[in-house]
Chains A and B, each alone.
Chain A
């Protein structure tokens, strides 16, 4: 049944598949409310079971088990479906700005600018992909390098100004904790830049004295003090993530999304 079809006939099959999907959709609408949650729980469980079994099931000499051949189709399916899901965010953004233009709310001109930029880069990107030539490449680069790359990097670089202001106004020694935090930050900051390292580069590079060089103290803090502290937090996170995964898999998770009546 699932064999590739060549030529124009493929369109007949595609339309047939879409019609079949419509029938499945119609059948789904007939499912009574009380069966909907169990159905969703069943799908969650089976989807989870696939990857869990594939991992736990013993493998043969070729290092595969009976589920291994399905890993690749599952990967391809996930790629395609997740690509469709991108439209959720786009839909949300587009609908907000379309409404703004339609109702001519204050600042609706900015929404027009947004759409102009959106179409400009999307169309020039597609033209460059389908008809690659110097003209199309230059137009695409104008929007990508000149526009997106510059704007994205600038937007995030603005944080540098805010962090300076915050460091000056808020980083105050008011408690033991703040003092410890500040001293560790001081050493790490000195040890991670060339000029800071130069303060102690008169100390020997080898032997006991080298331990007192600021870059080595910084490395020691990161590997011997920071590492176990981060590891301890990480262990907690790992256990929590595994527990949450189990609750999701078995549909035991609670909250507004999961408890809502369907």
Chain B
């Protein structure tokens, strides 16, 4: 009865049809709010959560906790279960303070790691920001480098709130705001490309994989 489950061609078609239904089901929201959309929305939530549970067990808890503890006899990993359960005390009124013990470990870790992060990430960035010579280089490079420094300084000035901005500082700050808008325009342009790409992916699936290859049987 379930032989089709081992037939790659039949399963391939079933997968494409299911994916097409899911795609069209979610796109019904473009017309207006409806139950078909809500149905597929809940399937999405369920699948995403179920997949996260499976992957977390298969990739993390099974190889890093269960196998070492049970198969390799490293019994002390049982303490990790108790420590992990501390997270869930956040739902208890009486013992919620204890959940902070485990959160504190990760807050501390993140804080302690910040020094290395700052040094490795920002020192090279600061060095490259300073390294923009305007003399002893070809004129176009000098102009570009000067522009780089002007933009960097003016945008930083715009974000400097420690004292009231007046006179020349206010003018530099206003220029910083305009330059920031120029940068935001570039980011907006890129965002358009990102969003269109995602849509192209789905439309390509519907037109090519579903209609042309699966329904019309094209190669």
Tell me, yes or no, whether A and B come into direct contact in the complex with CB atoms closer than 8 A.
yes
Mark A residues whose CB is within 8 Å of B: 2, 4-7, 10, 13-14, 16-18, 20-22, 24-25, 28-29, 36, 39-41, 43-56, 74, 76-91, 93, 107, 110-111, 113-122, 125-126, 129, 134-135, 138-139, 141-161, 163, 167, 176-178, 180-189, 192-193, 218, 221-222, 224-236, 238, 241-242, 245-246, 248-249, 262
Q: Is A79 touching B78 in the complex (CB atoms < 8 A)?
A: no
- Besides the known contacts A55-B119, A83-B56, A113-B39, 7 further A-B residue pairs in the complex with CB atoms under 8 A apart: A4-B75, A5-B73, A10-B70, A82-B106, A121-B46, A150-B205, A159-B195
* A188 and chain B: residue at smallest CB distance: B189
What residues of B have a CB within 8 angstroms of the CB of A178 in the complex?
181
Q: Check: B207 CB closer than 8 A to any chain A CB.
A: no
Q: Is A153 touching B201 in the complex (CB atoms < 8 A)?
A: yes
Q: Is A180 touching B182 in the complex (CB atoms < 8 A)?
A: yes
Given known A181-B188, A222-B186, A228-B152, contact A114–B26 (CB-CB < 8 A): no
A130 and B18 CA atoms in complex are apart in Å by 25
Q: Is A47 touching B152 in the complex (CB atoms < 8 A)?
A: no
Closest Cβ of chain A to B211, distance in Å, is: 15
Q: Is A163 touching B22 in the complex (CB atoms < 8 A)?
A: no
What residues of B have a CB within 8 angstroms of the CB of A159 in the complex?
195, 198
What residues of B have a CB within 8 angstroms of the CB of A241 in the complex?
114, 117-118
What residues of A have a CB within 8 angstroms of the CB of B17 in the complex?
146
Q: Is B189 touching A192 in the complex (CB atoms < 8 A)?
A: yes
27 contacts between A and B (CB under 8 A): A4-B72, A5-B73, A16-B75, A44-B107, A50-B108, A82-B60, A83-B61, A85-B87, A87-B88, A114-B45, A117-B44, A118-B53, A121-B51, A121-B54, A138-B5, A138-B11, A144-B51, A151-B22, A154-B22, A154-B27, A157-B198, A184-B181, A189-B189, A225-B182, A228-B129, A232-B176, A233-B159
What residues of B have a CB within 8 angstroms of the CB of A89 in the complex?
49
Q: Check: B16 CB closer than 8 A to any chain A CB.
A: yes
CB contact list, B1-56 vs A, under 8 A:
2, 5-6, 8, 11, 14-20, 22-23, 26-27, 29-30, 38-56
How many residue pairs between the two chains, A and B, have CB atoms under 8 Å in the bound complex?
404
A255 and B186 CA atoms in complex are apart in Å by 36
What residues of A have a CB within 8 angstroms of the CB of B49 in the complex?
89-90, 93, 114, 118
When the two chains form the complex, which single residue of B64, B88, B122, B147 contacts A80, counting CB atoms closer than 8 Å? B64
- In the A-B complex, list the 4 residue pairs whose CB atoms are closest, starting with the nearest: A47-B108, A84-B84, A184-B185, A117-B46
Which of B95, B182, B198 has the largest number of chain A CB atoms within 10 A?
A: B182
A104 and B52 CA atoms in complex are apart in Å by 27
Task: Digitize B68-108: 1 where CB-to-A-CB distance is under 8 Å, 0 elsewhere.
Answer: 01101111111111111101101100010110111011111
What residues of A have a CB within 8 angstroms of the CB of B53 in the complex?
86, 90, 118, 122
Q: Check: B142 CB closer than 8 A to any chain A CB.
A: no
Q: Is B57 touching A126 in the complex (CB atoms < 8 A)?
A: yes
Q: Check: B112 CB closer than 8 A to any chain A CB.
A: yes
Task: Digitize B184-213: 1 where CB-to-A-CB distance is under 8 Å, 0 elsewhere.
Answer: 111111111101101101100100000000
Q: Is B109 touching A188 in the complex (CB atoms < 8 A)?
A: no
What residues of B have a CB within 8 angstroms of the CB of A146 in the complex?
14-19, 22
Given known A155-B44, A188-B185, contact A48–B109 (CB-CB < 8 A): yes
* B149 and chain A: residue at smallest CB distance: A228
Q: Is B112 touching A232 in the complex (CB atoms < 8 A)?
A: no
Closest Cβ of chain B to A95, distance in Å, is: 9
Task: Digitize B146-158: 1 where CB-to-A-CB distance is under 8 Å, 0 elsewhere.
Answer: 0111011001100
Closest Cβ of chain B to A155, distance in Å, is: 6
Q: Check: B131 CB closer than 8 A to any chain A CB.
A: no
